[in-house]
């Protein structure tokens, strides 16, 4: 009987762990404010939206990265204090109701649907099968290159730069992206960057020539990809 109870307890703990992990993964796919309470440690497109709004109202001056850390929490606290709200550092309904209404991609960043779909095609070609964060990460590398003076200054030009993406050569980029890849593209364009400003990525399982990356600092591994600066 005791062994049965122990086994039952382990099963229940595993089910809780799986449920929490699934909820966290789903939360990272949020692109709109109000779908969850935001707090330190969260990440996603909705966090990037929050950071942009806080930047617009003058309380946030750090990088837009979709990562809710100390800088974002301090900005939230400052906003709450300035507006006579309970200073919690978390963004729930009360704080949301006092934020300016600016929660669509078209109202936050200047990007065309063609750019969104082009980025989604590359994400789908290079990272389909990866978790949402891994797909956003691939998109973030492209967005980071646009912002880096060593690369072209548009999504299309970065993607079409010769020899950069094998999926353009093997035809994978011609496949129509699924909704998850499209959402990942939107997340990356909003500023969600789980790669910490990486400008290179590769899959060590299939890469054949890594000499060009030998002097590049590896930032992190996400799914099957390695991200570097």
| DSSP state letters, 102-150 | --SHHHHS---HHHHHHHHHHHHHHHTTS-HHHHHHHHHHHHHHHTSTT
Q: Note the pLDDT of residue 8.
A: 58
Q: Note the pLDDT of residue 28.
A: 66
Task: Give me the residues of the chain with pLDDT under 50, please.
Answer: 11, 14-25
Q: Note the pLDDT of residue 23.
A: 42
Q: Note the pLDDT of residue 17.
A: 37
Q: Note the pLDDT of residue 22.
A: 40
Q: Note the pLDDT of residue 169.
A: 85
Total domains present in the chain: 3
Same domain, 38 and 104: yes
Tokens of 64: 């837009």
Q: Note the pLDDT of residue 2.
A: 61
Same domain, 24 and 35: no
With beta carbons less than 8 A apart as the criterion, state whether 213 and 219 touch: no
Number of residues written out for the chain = 229
Same domain, 119 and 24: no
Residue 78 structural domain: 31-108
Mean pLDDT of the chain: 87
Q: Note the pLDDT of residue 35.
A: 92
Q: Note the pLDDT of residue 161.
A: 93
Q: Note the pLDDT of residue 29.
A: 84
Same domain, 127 and 222: yes
Q: Note the pLDDT of residue 1.
A: 57
Please name the helix (run of DSSP H) or strand (run of DSSP E) that holds residue 218, with its range, or none. strand 218-222
């Amino acid at each position: 009987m005791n062994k049965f109870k122990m086994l039952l307890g382990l099963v229940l703990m595993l089910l809780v762990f799986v449920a929490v992990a699934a909820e966290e993964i789903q939360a990272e796919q949020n692109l709109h404010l109000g779908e969850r309470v935001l707090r330190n440690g969260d990440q996603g497109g909705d966090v990037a939206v929050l950071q942009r709004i806080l930047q617009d109202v003058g309380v946030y001056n750090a990088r837009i990265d979709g990562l809710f850390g100390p800088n974002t929490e301090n900005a939230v606290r400052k906003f709450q204090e300035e507006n006579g709200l309970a200073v919690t550092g978390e963004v729930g309904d009360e704080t949301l109701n006092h934020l300016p209404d600016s929660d669509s991609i078209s109202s936050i960043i200047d990007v065309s649907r063609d750019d969104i779909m082009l980025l989604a095609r590359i994400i789908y070609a290079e990272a389909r099968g990866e978790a949402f964060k891994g797909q956003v990460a691939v998109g973030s590398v492209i967005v980071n290159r646009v912002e880096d003076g060593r690369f072209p200054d548009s999504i299309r030009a970065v993607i079409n730069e010769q020899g950069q993406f094998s999926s353009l050569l093997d035809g994978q980029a011609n496949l129509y992206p699924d909704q998850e890849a499209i959402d990942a593209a939107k997340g990356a364009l909003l500023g969600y960057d789980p790669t910490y400003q990486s400008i290179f990525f590769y899959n060590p399982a299939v890469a054949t020539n890594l000499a060009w990356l030998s002097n590049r600092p590896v930032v992190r591994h996400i799914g099957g990809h390695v991200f570097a600066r």
